[in-house]
Amino acid sequence: MKINKLYIVLLATTGVVMQGCKDSNFLDVPSRERVEANDSEQVFTPEQFINGVYGMFTDWDYSFSYIGITDMISDNADKGSSATDNGGDKADLDNLTYTTTTGSIKSMWSRWYKSIGRATQAIDYTEKFGLTDVAYKNRLIGEARFLRALNYFYLVRGWGDVPIQDRDLIKREPASAVYAYIEADLQFAIDNLPLKSAYAAKDLGRATKGAAQGLLAKVYLYQSKWQQAADLAKTVISSGGYSLEADYAKIWRLEGENGPESLFEWQARGTSIALGVKQYSQVQAPRGGLVSLGWGFNTPSQNLLDAFNAEKDNIRRDATIIFRNSTLYDGRVIDNGVENPMYNMKAYSSANGGAEYTDKNVRYLRLGEIYLILAEASNELGNSNESLSALNAIRTRVKLSNITTTDQAQLRQLIWKERRLELAFEHDRWFDLVRTKQAKTAMAANGKTFQDKMLLFPIPEDQRIQTPEMPQNPGW
């Protein structure tokens, strides 16, 4: 057997194409085979295996399917593009008419399981490679376990009960068991990963202790484990390793990559620019007109614009939305001839000018969200003072007045609204709507009908054909 190389962008290193599973009928993944060093003409290091896990985030799935099931499906975004271009299934997602055969749902189900399989094999390879530096070995395993947890977090939020791949390939374990598995991976990562400041420059972008703590705080939030979420959020905030970027708009510009607020980003810069997440910026860039930068999908909804305007939140509005007939921060003119009235500023790349590959990192987790996790968890614990302090730190940055109410129900709604405005187009809105039980009301306000079965995505039909004994989610 020969091992094929995967040249990933992350850190300009070479990864390994590793298969994600040990059953040829599971998730369209070829059979998992143990990769021994002597199987190849080149001995791959454990670090290269770990790099291959990071490399999964640069795939085309994250440019189209991912934005479909996280943004376009929600009240924050519309399909965009041309009215006659459905983007495959993107109109179905936008209109909430998706089914068990919707391609984007299948693609991300498969992508996340393949990533998990790759992480598990990287862990196994690293454990058996013979590394004598225990701290280094555990750091690599901690990175892989962080990445595995991140992928399971998407699956459990999207589908609820899901198989835990290294236990059983068909049996859907309770969501509580999946969350416990995620927590164990993240705790190992916390115990073994270095601080962001401790990494060498060449390792910029790798998972860190702070990233694992922040993700675990978010995992606790989604389970309503308020005390644990608050405690970890405070740990990250008080660590001294992170600070809020003073200029909110800067976060998504080149100079904001891996900045003081960043806990974890999907790296898109190797030895040259215009290499990274395939077409992430191009797919969402302004369509038509003289500028003609991209395809114009995933456009801000009028509903979102109204929410910004109602709050008089001009700073975050203008850092989130590109408007037709405007001049951007870099001097590029978005003329009146572009097809859609609004586009996603957070996906805009000033450097690549609509090129197929993007030099733009995708911001996954940042300190602004950690403050909002603390605000929400503290409010649920009845600690309104701590909640208001965290919430108002976020509002002060964008020059909005302080919230003063200590009424728990009112404050809860205000925190949820703040999450929407602060985190728009950061790919969590749909999961937040489901988690907070706002989905039916919010989608109705956006002119869409949310059905109870949409609390979970359907198990893809192709998966059910391969494994008919795997039960479908209710209503599908």
Q: In order of start, what are the domains of the chain with their CATH numbers?
A: 5-77+98-266+364-428 (1.25.40.390), 280-362 (no CATH)
pLDDT band at 10 (very low <50, low <70, confident <90, very high): very low
Query: pLDDT of 91-126, one tens digit each?
Result: 999 999 999 999 999 999 999 999 999 999 999 999
Which amino acid belongs to residue 150? L
Cβ burial of 43 (10 Å; 0-12, 13-18, 19+) is exposed
Residue of higher predicted confidence among 276 and 359: 359
Q: What local confidence, expressed as pLDDT, does residue 275 receive?
A: 59
| Residue found by looking up tokens 């992508």 in the block | 111
State how far Cα 305 lies from the chain centre: 22
What is the Cα gyration radius of the chain? 22
pLDDT band at 43 (very low <50, low <70, confident <90, very high): confident
Q: Tell me what the mean pLDDT of segment 356-377 comes to.
A: 92
- Report the greatest alpha carbon distance in the chain: 66
Q: Which residues are registered as beta bridge partners of 297? A: 80
CB 26 within 8 A of CB 467: yes
Token pair in block for residue 76: 């924050």
| Residue found by looking up tokens 């005390």 in the block | 227
Q: Tell me what the mean pLDDT of segment 204-227 comes to.
A: 97
Q: Tell me what the mean pLDDT of segment 178-195 comes to.
A: 98
CA distance 387 to 393: 10
Token pair in block for residue 406: 């200590």
The Cβ-side half-sphere exposure at 458, using a 13 Å CA radius, reads 20
Query: pLDDT of 347-360, one tens digit each?
Result: 999 987 777 777 78
Q: Say how many C-beta atoms besides its own lie within 10 A of residue 16's C-beta.
A: 25
Q: Which residues, at least 6 apart from 471, have a Cβ–Cβ distance to it below 8 Å?
A: 172, 459
Cβ burial of 44 (10 Å; 0-12, 13-18, 19+) is buried
Residue of higher predicted confidence among 25 and 305: 305
DSSP 352-375: TTT-SB--PPEEEEEHHHHHHHHH
Which letter does DSSP use for residue 355 in this model?
A: -
Which letter does DSSP use for residue 85 in this model?
A: -
pLDDT of residue 82 exceeding 80, the answer is yes
DSSP 379-399: HHTT-HHHHHHHHHHHHHHTT
Q: Tell me what the mean pLDDT of segment 331-355 comes to.
A: 92
Token pair in block for residue 15: 């990864």
Crossing angle of helices 134-159/103-128, nearest 10°? 160
Residue of higher predicted confidence among 182 and 6: 182
CA distance 299 to 296: 7
CA distance 274 to 319: 22
Nearest Cα neighbor of 354 from 365, 364, 363, 343 is 343
pLDDT of residue 246 exceeding 90, the answer is yes
Which amino acid belongs to residue 233? A
Q: In the chain, pLDDT over 90 holds for what percent of residues?
A: 84
Cα angle 38, 42, 45 (rounded to 5 degrees) comes to 90
Q: Tell me what the mean pLDDT of segment 264-293 comes to.
A: 82
Q: In the chain, pLDDT over 70 holds for what percent of residues?
A: 90
CA distance 159 to 442: 21
Which letter does DSSP use for residue 252 in this model?
A: G
Nearest Cα neighbor of 151 from 123, 176, 121, 185 is 185
Which letter does DSSP use for residue 280 in this model?
A: H
Q: What local confidence, expressed as pLDDT, does residue 355 receive?
A: 77
Cβ burial of 220 (10 Å; 0-12, 13-18, 19+) is buried
Query: pLDDT of 409-455, one tens digit each?
Result: 999 999 999 999 999 999 999 999 999 999 999 999 999 999 999 99
Query: pLDDT of 277-289, one tens digit each?
Result: 788 999 999 999 9
CA distance 247 to 231: 27
Which is it for the CA torsion 454, 178, 236, 9, positive or negative? negative
pTM of the model: 0.91
DSSP 164-222: -TTT-SS--B-HHHHHHHHHHHHHHHHHHPPPGGGS-GGGTTS--HHHHHHHHHHHHHH
CA distance 279 to 294: 9
Residues in the chain: 476
Q: What local confidence, expressed as pLDDT, does residue 271 receive?
A: 54
Q: What local confidence, expressed as pLDDT, does residue 75 receive?
A: 98
Mean confidence (pLDDT) of the chain = 90
Q: Which residues are registered as beta bridge partners of 173? A: 162
Q: Which helix (H) or strand (E) holds 14?
A: strand 14-16
Token pair in block for residue 326: 């405007």
Q: What local confidence, expressed as pLDDT, does residue 469 receive?
A: 96
CA distance 388 to 374: 10
